[in-house]
Structure 1
Amino acid sequence: MLKTIASALLLIAVSSSAYTAENISVTRDGVIYSVSQHETLSSISQKFTGNIKHWRTIGQTNQIENDRAIPIGRKVLIPTRLLTPVSAFARIKTFFGDVVIRGRDGSSIEAKIDAMLKEGDTLTTMANSFISLMLDDGTQFTLPPNSVVSLRLLRATPYVETPRTQLYLQKGRIESQVTPFTKPESKYEVISPLAVSGVRGTNFRVNLDEQRVLNEVIEGKVAVAQNTAVNKPSKQLVAAGYGTVVENGRVNKPVALLTAPALLDGYQQQLRLPIQFTLSHPGATSFRVIISTDAAGKNNIAETSARSNNGQGVAKLENLEDGAYFVRTSALDAVGLEGVSTIQAFRVDARPFPPFLLQPGAKFQGAVQDGRIPVTMKWALTEGISNYRLQVASDAAFKTIVLDQVTETGADQLVALLANGNYYWRVASIIQAAGTSKQGPFGDAKPLAVLAGLAAPAANIGQKEIHFSWSAAPGQRFTFQVAATPEFTTLINNIETSTAEVAIPRPEAGIYYARVRSTDDDGFVGAFSPAQKFSVPMQWRTEYDVPLESQGQPLGTSF
């Protein structure tokens, strides 16, 4: 193939030099050549058309009767229609993903930028793959995923620059942006099993959809006809902003394409995966979204679609690396014709990913210290993350931030001193690379209700019972415990109650500890209160096990 390309380039170089050396000029009607010594119409015909048989036509065109007596310097017009087209090439401009290219003989051709493809080559794009090619005149065509196109005809006429291109769409879609032609002999056609779409310079799309072909014209005009052997096939001239469907043996009347959909605000900076675009158009049955790295939308790297529900849809892409991109959006009507598209810039700033928040939950109950409650905020460590940034705010929009702090390296928690109240908290990851730090987006904020812990239960020691009470909120249940040690390793009492008080039998004389915790009606279990230390004095009792009294008071060890 390299030899073929080199030969073609040599031919172009020779032809270009002949322009000056042989005094050739080009007009709208063809090539004008100044005759040199010993030249005849036959030699001129062979030179420019590749065959001497056209010498009579050249003579008639120039009113030359005597082939052997042409004056030196005589200007001879060789009509464009007689010039012999030569092979042209399609150069790979961009590609992405898995693209398979086969030569006419079935040989494999490597897909790489600036590779020159020739007539007879076939291109196949796999899932999430794209390829864009450019012809010598600047015409560019692009294949989206799951498409197959054969380069059926790639020709160009020397001197007069009249390209002739035929692309055979076997499967999927193709989008063409054709440079306007200046010569009537120029041709650009997209052929499919059902239809032929021919243009003279325009921007249009062709979609082979099972037993029908959809044509959409963005700029210029496209002649759409059946691909049939009948003498007078069904044909329509489709103007810009219109589309037509070829099905059931006929070309349908063109209909107006849908306008570009509205892209709802928030798409400009994508902080979460999957990437999401919310689209709106009252006439859409679905939406198409194409991602590219250039503003012209040629270097495509991803494509997805979304169904429309009452004119709205959300298109999602599972993954894009951080960076700058462009999104092209369009709406599809009930027939399946894709409408006019728009291209907008956006960024992906989703990395490093925020950590998973572990604790506290929606509520936290703790002891008040100097008017504040220490709350331990904890999250999962992520590999490669150097630091984390914790924010706590009193509102969901984080307009009123009460804590904004970066952890030390490797820390997975921070203690926040918060007053009793309602808050929101979130965490972002920070990485260090090449001497600079980069903070990723904050994760979803979690609500947090910070509650003051229960005060130690108050003890009222009676002759036979000890009564305890504490403050409570409506709907709470309680766990009350008594132990002989402040560690509460061995419980003397463990009582579940729905009231904010409890009575226990008076134990033997000694030092004891009591504590209580609450359970809200939503299931939240609070922390135990500080331990209440209380002393049960020795009590003298009669042989009938009643307290021995003096002047109405029980006698104890202090008597």
Structure 2
Amino acid sequence: MAIDSKPHKTMAKQVEMFRRKGLGRAAVVGALVVFGGVWQAAVAQPSGADGSDFLYRVQPGDTLIALADRYLDSVEGWRLLQQRNHVADPYRLQPGSVLRIPFDRIPVVPATAQVVFARDATTADRKPLQAGMKLAEDAQIETGDKGAVTLAFDDGTRVTVPPGSRVALSRVRAFARAGLIDVRVHVKQGEAESNVSPRKTGVGRYEISTPSLVTGVRGTRFRVQASESVSTSSVLEGEVSTKAGRRTQGVKAGFGVQVSGGHLKRAALPAAPKLDAIPDLVQRPCFRATWQPVKGAVAYRAAVARDAALTELSAYQHSKTPGATLCGDEDGDYTLVVQSIDALGLTSPSATRPFTVRLHPEAPYTIQPASGKTYRSGELVFSWATVSDARSYDVEVGDTETFASPVVQQRGQDVRVTKALSAGSWWWRVRSVAEDGKTGPWSDALRFQALDIPPGAVPPASVDAGDDGMLHAHWPALAPELAAAGARTRVQLASEPTFAKPVADIVSDGSEAAIPQPPAGTYYIRTGVDLGDPASVMYAKPQRIDVGAFVGDSSRNPVQSGGGNLLLNDWSGRTNPR
């Protein structure tokens, strides 16, 4: 295409005319925009890089002299732009067309990358990375097995380096007059995910390279992975230009490339998983996240982010099945991030699902009723340990483990409450309530049994004096339903009828017990049904016995300890032969 030299002279005269009037460089450019016949400010639309050229998409009102002033080292550079792009009329550029601007004519200045998040990550000299640090050109980054780093550049571009990666900042500069970055990142091992120019202000030069693949960006979000033999680039948004050896290929969103052994393969990315089954509120330290299998996926990986921008990532978990077990102990709002992986190693866009973790105040330790135990129906005591940061407690008792219709539902500050329950199988649980009213997790639901024990179910005892210095107590076997519930017989001997300080207190699985013979005197004996809770033992009516150097009857006549009968006084004073 022939280049018209007339506009050169005309534009040069206009520049000189405005300068003679004392206008500065910026005023000259603004005047030329108006002179071009468009009463609208020119808006820069940087579109990325292509080889050694910076690409710019023309907007209404653009002129070559305005673009030269914005990007090049001299306003006179408009002539170079006209020649390089074969522009016939430098006043009137076609909106939407792309201009090429040589990178070597765009002044650059040193820039830095700011660390916005870091965990278990170091520089080449093993210096730990911390949020707020600034990294210059040639910085080396290494993340540990559970580490991650997110860097931010001047235009808002962010790159996240997940666990097990080694990355170098080969070039960190900025184009002096354009406000755009000139960045090259080299992934030696592992991965880097980039979100380029999220403010949509345009893209300068941003390249990610691996030992076998170079990815040039034109405003996009993409993910690059590198190992010793394979490199991949997965394009999530926008478009990239990939180069492997001498082969260059454009790749749009939804596609990716794999380079292995010098061969480049292009394929569609696998679909992202659907995370509909993830709970909104998690109140246990670990939970299992599952999702439906994705067609074509051979594996998945999951991570948890502390922020919606997905820059503060935990370690990825890799799984061949659609699920991952996630653990943590800090309350807060999180985002689950899951990606599908296909046979080429290409990764899907991230499926995300926000959820909240609330583990505090902690669930109290339960005391009673104990799990699997049987208690006497009627007034039951529920008790638990005190939690230091709890203002009050919620307690529930239900006849199903789901607590769909609890028979007890109470909030209060006490850690011990008494509730009347009928016979049956029951579940109970308790949780802490914080000062602000937020509730912590429930304790485990504990199942227990309540049994009706009628007075006649308690067997009375008889006592024989043996020749071995022992008193031998005997009683009938417990009813089968009590024995099946784990009940045992409790035998107590005391020197006074309140049994405040028993001389003997024995729990037996059988129907007899041997009690060391106490000193001479009057004693009381009783038996009861014991379900494992001493406070709820149901006792039979106590009986009185007299003990001396012998065991006596109600008239204090000695009773032989051999084959003779022992006479005991019951509580009414009537004599009961045994």
Measure the CA separation in 1 of the matches of 2:440 and 2:575: 69
Matches within 5 A, 1:243-322: 243-251=256-264, 253-274=265-286, 276-282=288-294, 283-294=297-308, 297-308=309-320, 311-322=321-332
Measure the CA separation in 1 of the matches of 2:370 and 2:236: 55
The equivalent of 1:80 in structure 2 is 101
The Cα shift of 1:132 comes to 3.3
The equivalent of 2:224 in structure 1 is 206
The Cα shift of 1:58 comes to 8.6
From the superposition, tell whether residues 88 and 280 of structure 1 become closer, same or farther in structure 2 (CA, over 3 Å). Answer: farther
The Cα shift of 1:244 comes to 2.8
The Cα shift of 1:279 comes to 3.3
Asked if the contact 2:85–2:100 (Cα under 8 Å) also holds between the matched residues in 1, the reply is no
Query: Normalised by the size of structure 2, how large is the TM-score?
Result: 0.66
From the superposition, tell whether residues 451 and 179 of structure 1 become closer, same or farther in structure 2 (CA, over 3 Å). Answer: same
Measure the CA separation in 1 of the matches of 2:315 and 2:79: 56
Please give the secondary structure, in 2, of the residue aligned with 1:267: coil
The equivalent of 2:408 in structure 1 is 403
Asked if the contact 2:298–2:342 (Cα under 8 Å) also holds between the matched residues in 1, the reply is yes
**Letter paired with 1:80:** I
Compute the RMSD of aligned alpha carbons. 5.1
From the superposition, tell whether residues 62 and 128 of structure 1 become closer, same or farther in structure 2 (CA, over 3 Å). Answer: closer
Measure the CA separation in 1 of the matches of 2:330 and 2:337: 15
1:422 aligned onto 2:425:
yes
Please give the secondary structure, in 2, of the residue aligned with 1:401: coil
The equivalent of 1:242 in structure 2 is 255
For 1:206-262, what per-residue CA distance to the aligned partner results, in whole angstroms no more than 9, with x for missing partners? Answer: 012343212111123333333x5xxx3x555444223332222332x2233221123
Please give the secondary structure, in 2, of the residue aligned with 1:415: strand
Asked if the contact 2:423–2:452 (Cα under 8 Å) also holds between the matched residues in 1, the reply is yes
For 1:403-436, what per-residue CA distance to the aligned partner results, in whole angstroms no more than 9, with x for missing partners? Answer: 233343xx5433333222211111111333xxx4
The Cα shift of 1:394 comes to 1.9
From the superposition, tell whether residues 246 and 416 of structure 1 become closer, same or farther in structure 2 (CA, over 3 Å). Answer: same
Matches within 5 A, 1:472-483: 472-473=480-481, 475=484, 478-479=488-489, 481=491, 483=493
The equivalent of 1:196 in structure 2 is 214
**Letter paired with 2:351:** T
Deviates more, 1:164-173 or 1:346-355: 164-173
From the superposition, tell whether residues 495 and 180 of structure 1 become closer, same or farther in structure 2 (CA, over 3 Å). Answer: closer
The equivalent of 1:68 in structure 2 is none
Measure the CA separation in 2 of the matches of 1:331 and 1:149: 24
The Cα shift of 1:402 comes to 2.1
The equivalent of 1:168 in structure 2 is 186
Asked if the contact 1:393–1:402 (Cα under 8 Å) also holds between the matched residues in 2, the reply is yes
> Structure 1 unaligned runs (5+)?
1-15, 35-43, 64-73, 548-555
> Structure 2 unaligned runs (5+)?
1-22, 34-41, 43-55, 94-98, 466-471, 545-552, 566-573
Matches within 5 A, 1:425-436: 425-432=428-435, 436=436
1:220 aligned onto 2:238:
yes
1:147 aligned onto 2:147:
no
The Cα shift of 1:156 comes to 5.4
The Cα shift of 1:83 comes to 2.8
Deviates more, 1:422-431 or 1:436-445: 436-445
Measure the CA separation in 1 of the matches of 2:376 and 2:142: 68
The Cα shift of 1:190 comes to 0.8
Asked if the contact 1:275–1:320 (Cα under 8 Å) also holds between the matched residues in 2, the reply is no
From the superposition, tell whether residues 161 and 379 of structure 1 become closer, same or farther in structure 2 (CA, over 3 Å). Answer: closer
From the superposition, tell whether residues 542 and 285 of structure 1 become closer, same or farther in structure 2 (CA, over 3 Å). Answer: closer
Measure the CA separation in 2 of the matches of 1:343 and 1:398: 31
From the superposition, tell whether residues 420 and 477 of structure 1 become closer, same or farther in structure 2 (CA, over 3 Å). Answer: closer
1:341 aligned onto 2:350:
yes
Asked if the contact 1:453–1:527 (Cα under 8 Å) also holds between the matched residues in 2, the reply is no
Please give the secondary structure, in 2, of the residue aligned with 1:532: coil
**Letter paired with 2:186:** Y
Measure the CA separation in 2 of the matches of 1:385 and 1:186: 55
Q: Give the alignment partner of residue 377 of structure 1, picking from 354, 379, 382.
A: 382
Q: Give the alignment partner of residue 387 of structure 1, picking from 389, 392, 398.
A: 392
The Cα shift of 1:134 comes to 3.4
Asked if the contact 1:128–1:145 (Cα under 8 Å) also holds between the matched residues in 2, the reply is yes
From the superposition, tell whether residues 135 and 250 of structure 1 become closer, same or farther in structure 2 (CA, over 3 Å). Answer: farther
Measure the CA separation in 1 of the matches of 2:198 and 2:479: 86
Matches within 5 A, 1:51-66: none
From the superposition, tell whether residues 320 and 211 of structure 1 become closer, same or farther in structure 2 (CA, over 3 Å). Answer: farther
Please give the secondary structure, in 1, of the residue aligned with 2:291: strand
From the superposition, tell whether residues 107 and 258 of structure 1 become closer, same or farther in structure 2 (CA, over 3 Å). Answer: closer
Q: Give the alignment partner of residue 351 of structure 1, picking from 355, 360, 381.
A: 360
Please give the secondary structure, in 2, of the residue aligned with 1:262: coil
Asked if the contact 1:195–1:224 (Cα under 8 Å) also holds between the matched residues in 2, the reply is yes
From the superposition, tell whether residues 98 and 468 of structure 1 become closer, same or farther in structure 2 (CA, over 3 Å). Answer: closer
The Cα shift of 1:316 comes to 0.9
